[in-house]
Amino acid sequence: MDILRIATAGSVDDGKSTLIGRLLYETNSITKDKIEALESASKRKGLDFLDLSLLTDGLIAEREQGITIDVAHIYFSTPTRKYIIADTPGHVEYTRNMVTGASNVKVSLILVDARQGVVEQTARHLSIACLLRIPKVIICINKMDLVQYQQSTFESIQNSLTELIAQTTFEGQEISFLPISSLYGQNITQAAEHMPWYQGNTLLGELEAFEFAETQSKAAARFPVQFVIRPMTEAYHDFRGYAGKISSGTFQVGDAIRVLPTGQESTIASIEKFDQKLSKAEAGDSVVITLSTDIDISRGNTLVKASEEMAPQLKDFSAQVCWLDHQALSAGKTYLLQHGIHITKAKISQITERLDVVAQTSTENVDSLKLNEIGRISLRTAQAIHADQYADNPANGAFILIDEFSNSTVGVGFVS
């Protein structure tokens, strides 16, 4: 059974929580006691219908303000797939959570209120979905019930996004538009009886049909060593295994490998997963690799295949960043850069550009990037990192920046 990860995004009151609640409800993912709790909570609010948004709006503060303020993870499954939804907040001050929720997903669901049409947040979320290179974007035009299910409204919203899509999309990305009503369950898991003019998939149909190519498995092989296993017991006296999760490509027993950054070479003697011996393993597999020769490898080193292109060694480079902290990013400041599991110091030499993701314009050479802003920086690291271009190999092309004093994760970068 595979897992499809989805991120939802939208402005406040676009009905995101209701949409998710509706998906859970119609896929029979809610148990009877939870529905009963929902009924009584809805009644307490004076509603005469089941408020499905209450299912996911978890925190006390949220219930008071009636908005979602943090990334919540929601689970449901169908006979074909397990789905993980990262429900991310829509209002502007929490864009950082949206980026967080959207990293790692294959599908981005963007909600648009049919009455409002495209707003600034729509453009922001679409641009971020493209920046993160999310392979599928589904733009749900919600609350169609409030515009009499008119085809013309749906189409005019669709048309107003054409230009932005042309500017931000990338090769291989699928973008589709769906007219829906979460409140009345139109086009969520069942065809919309009120919109005979729409012949496409329902939302669930669209998700079930999406086949994502495993881009990470096709990229060049990268194996960051997380942990060196040396049991030193009688049975495994000389055992030295390198534990890690393959971040891209495939490795096979017998492959000639090279260690980065040391440049040492060896051959894969075994690939193990607990008590199983495997002949090969691919991106996403957590395994233990042993080598035919005894060489010195430690955490943070990366194994690559000698036959493939090495990950470029970067020390002075440029990257796109999204800033996630209240304290702004300023040129000249030093941070800790974590690339995969490898940490080194990094100095921001310059902020070469600040991007306005809504207008798709940029300002050159700025002093700082504030919370939720996106820009391009040039930076210099203390130790070189072996990173690929984010577009070619997302798992080996992203990094985070950590504040040395607060220890917080303050930014995310994409090598490009």
Partner 1 sequence: MSTLKTSIQDKIGNFPRRLEDESIYIMREVAAQFERPALLFSGGKDSITLVRLAQKAFFPGKIPFPLVHIDTGHNFPETIEFRDWLAKETGAELIVRYVQDSIDQGKVKEESGKYASRNVLQTVTLLDTIEEFKFDACIGGARRDEEKARAKERIFSVRDDFGQWDAKRQRPELFDMLNGRISVGENVRVFPISNWTELDVWNYINEEHMEIPSIYFSHQRQVIERDGMLWADSEHLNKEADEIPFEAIVRFRTVGDMTCTAAVASNAVDIDVIIEEILSAEISERGARIDDKRSEAAMEKRKQQGYF
Cβ at position 275, least distance to partner 1 in Å: 7
Does 67 sit near partner 1 (CB under 8 A)? no
Does 194 sit near partner 1 (CB under 8 A)? no
Per-residue binder mask for partner 1 (CB under 8 A), 4-43, x = binder: ----------------------xxx--xxxx------x--
Does 206 sit near partner 1 (CB under 8 A)? no
| Total Cβ atoms within 10 A of residue 286 | 12
Q: What type of residue sits at position 174? A: E
Does 334 sit near partner 1 (CB under 8 A)? no
Spatial distance between the Cα atoms of 11 and 121, rounded to a whole number of angstroms: 6
Does 58 sit near partner 1 (CB under 8 A)? yes
Measuring CA to CA, which residue among 109, 76, 73 is closest to residue 3? 76
Does 269 sit near partner 1 (CB under 8 A)? no
| Cβ-count burial 150-160 (b if 16+ within 10 Å, e if not) | eeebbeebbee
User: Interaction with partner 1 in 111-170: which residues (CB under 8 A)?
Assistant: none
Does 407 sit near partner 1 (CB under 8 A)? yes
C-beta of 250 vs 409, nearer to partner 1: 409
Cβ at position 56, least distance to partner 1 in Å: 7
Phi, psi (rounded to 5 degrees) for 166: -60, -35
Chosen residue from 160, 169, 173, 189 binding partner 1 by CB under 8 A: 189
Spatial distance between the Cα atoms of 174 and 120, rounded to a whole number of angstroms: 22
User: Interaction with partner 1 in 77-96: which residues (CB under 8 A)?
Assistant: 77-79, 82, 84, 96
Chosen residue from 157, 219, 402, 415 binding partner 1 by CB under 8 A: 402
**Start-to-end C-alpha separation, the chain:** 34
Residue with tokens 């996630």, as numbered in its chain: 324
Q: What is the DSSP code (8-state) at residue 29?
A: -
Does 293 sit near partner 1 (CB under 8 A)? no
Contacts of 315 (CB under 8 A, 6+ apart): 380, 381, 383, 384, 385
Does 65 sit near partner 1 (CB under 8 A)? no
User: Interaction with partner 1 in 373-392: which residues (CB under 8 A)?
Assistant: none
